[in-house]
Structures are given as C-alpha cells and as structure tokens.
Amino acid sequence: MAKPLKQWKSYTQQLQLLESRGMIVTDNAKALNYLERVGYYRLSGYWYPFRQIDVQASKAQNKPIRKNEFVQQSNFENIVDLYIFDKKLRLLALDALERIELAVRVDVAHLLGKRDSNAHQIADCLHGNFTKKLIKNGKNAGKTEHAVWLEKYNALLYQARREPFIEHHKKHYEGCVPVWVAIEIWDFGLLSRMYSGLKYQDQQCIAEKYNIKSGEIFAKWLRSLNFVRNVAAHHSRLWNINILELSPQVDNWQPMNNARPFFYFCIIQHLLKRICPNSTWSERFKQLLAEFPQIGNGMITLGDFGIAQEDWQEWELWQIRK
C-alpha cells in the first residue's frame, strides 16, 4: 500500500523538524535563509551522511538504512559548508569540461570534414556498427545509432534555426550545414556519441593526440565525462555520487575507485594537460580540496569523493610543467 504524501511545512517548521531530529542550529536566520534559497529537499542530500544508521533494518535488508535522527555533533553550518564546497566543485568541473568539449569538437569536425563537408550525415564516413547495426531493445529498437543521433542533431538544428550562422547556411547552401559549423550546436552527449560512431582509425587518431592508448577507451572517457557534465550542469550533488557511466582503470595510474568522482577529475586533468598545458585549473582543484569541510564527528571525508591515497598531489598527473 502506498504511503500518503508528506504534508507541506513552512520554512520555520522545516527547521524545527531538523532540530527535533538532532541537528544543531546555531544561527536560525542563516539556516532559514538557506532553506528558502536552496530548499529542504536539495540540502537533504548533503545531510544524508549525517543521519544515523538503523542497524537492525540494515541487517534485515542487507544494505545501509538511515534513520531520520542525526548523529551527534551534526551542525547545520557543516551542511552549508559542504553544499558550498560542492557548488565550487561543480563550477570547477564545468570550467574544465567546456575546454575539453570544445577541443574534441574541433578534433572530430576537422577529421570528418576532410572526408566530406557533410560527413556527420553520411554513413560511409562513419563506422559500420554505428550506421547499420540495429538497436534491439528500448524505445529506439529497430533504429541504428546513427539514426538516433541524427534525430537529436536535427532537433538541436531546429532549436538553433534563428542563429545567424545556421540561417546563413540554410539560405545559401541548400540547407546543408558543414560539420565544422554543425559542431557549434552539438552538446557533449551528441559529441560523445559521434566520437563512438567514427571509424576505428579516426577514433584512434584522436585518442593518440591525448596520449590514450585506444579510441575505445577514449569513447568511454567521453561518456563518463558527459555524465559528470550533466550532473554539474543541472546543479545536482557531485562530490560523493556514484558515477553510472564507468570508465576502466588506467594502466599506469594508481588504483582508484572508478565509481567515484575523483577518478574522473583525474581524467579531466590528463586531458587538460594536453589541451591547456599552462592552465591553473589543477592548482584551483587542489586548493578547493584543501578547503573540504572539517567535520568534528568525522561523518564525511574525501574518501567519499574517491581519494584513498594522501599523496595524490605528488602523482605525476598532478605535477605542473615549468
């Protein structure tokens, strides 16, 4: 039987509920301000690790089950600090991913454009599996990956129809938009799927530019980074999430948890060192992690982010070229 929906509560009632469950609130005005501006439900993702574990229920269901009550020393100020840290982390991710997206867009367009100005729409310019193999399951069953890609591309093209550069090509070139122009309307998801649809040698050519041993691995990297990008762009919690689009471990790197964000920030750093070798992004990343909230009850650590080794800043990956 379904539970009844919870009743509406005023901001003051929300704060009182948190206090009744053991949350320490030292500045009511500030706490109310965050509940009004950010929202109870969004902030709940940040105080979730501070909720007590229900031992009996966890044993019965064979997974961690949380109580509504908070562990001792859970302070609303710490929740705010964690929220602000995560916001800065998202902005840092988006800053780097924009550079990566633009660089790979140009790589793909430059390579495809050499084959044909309209190569992104021509099956012979792309991998056979991408253009001929039919999808077996799901809403796109019976279509090819390329057909699905073209549907999304044409939808974006329609959305951008009033852009001067699109209007120009539609008017003067019989509606055709060359690939080096078309990339301006691609999003990261469309880019990552097109890269996966390139011919093997084309994937390999681009991967080698970034010192990645195979195009298949780089395709997985791009899908993972697109996942991270979507989380950050939609203002969702990033710092301790499980990454659903996994990339494999890298042979010459320290072993890491590839289901946690830190591994993908390492991938970002690897790519940025080749795209923007003089960038200060890595230093800003290190500085932000140094500002990670120090919580008295120890309920959260950078281990939740995916950092298991304290010496990670000394890895070759994170060294600055001088």
Q: What pLDDT shows up at residue 274?
A: 96
Residue 103, both tokens: 């660089």
Q: What pLDDT shows up at residue 265?
A: 99
The 10 Å Cβ neighbour count of residue 162 is 7
**Which pLDDT band holds residue 276 (cuts at 50, 70, 90)?**
very high
The mean of the pLDDT values for the chain is: 95
What string of DSSP letters covers 99-138? Answer: HHHHHHHHHHHHHHHHH-TTGGG-GGGS-HHHHHPBP-SS
Q: What pLDDT shows up at residue 176?
A: 85
Q: What pLDDT shows up at residue 24?
A: 97
DSSP state of 300: -
SS3 label, residue 321: coil
**Which pLDDT band holds residue 296 (cuts at 50, 70, 90)?**
confident
**Which pLDDT band holds residue 173 (cuts at 50, 70, 90)?**
confident
Q: What pLDDT shows up at residue 320?
A: 79
pLDDT reading at 3 higher than 90: no
Taking the C-alpha atoms of residue 206 and residue 204, their distance in angstroms, rounded to an integer, is 5
pLDDT reading at 195 higher than 80: yes
The tens digit of pLDDT for each residue in 217-253 reads 999 999 999 999 999 999 999 999 999 999 999 999 9
Taking the C-alpha atoms of residue 317 and residue 320, their distance in angstroms, rounded to an integer, is 9
**Which pLDDT band holds residue 136 (cuts at 50, 70, 90)?**
very high
SS3 label, residue 202: helix
Exposure class string for 20-51: b at 16+ Cβ within 10 A, else e: ebbbebeeeeebbebbeebebeebebbbebbb
pLDDT reading at 322 higher than 70: no
Give the mean model confidence (pLDDT) for residues 178-201. 97
Give the mean model confidence (pLDDT) for residues 274-281. 95
Q: What pLDDT shows up at residue 170?
A: 83
Q: What pLDDT shows up at residue 175?
A: 78
**Which pLDDT band holds residue 2 (cuts at 50, 70, 90)?**
confident
| Residue 62, CA atoms < 13 Å, CB-side half-sphere | 0
Residue 222, both tokens: 């791009």
Instruction: Give the range among 71-75, 100-104, 166-170, 194-198 with minimum mean pLDDT.
Output: 166-170
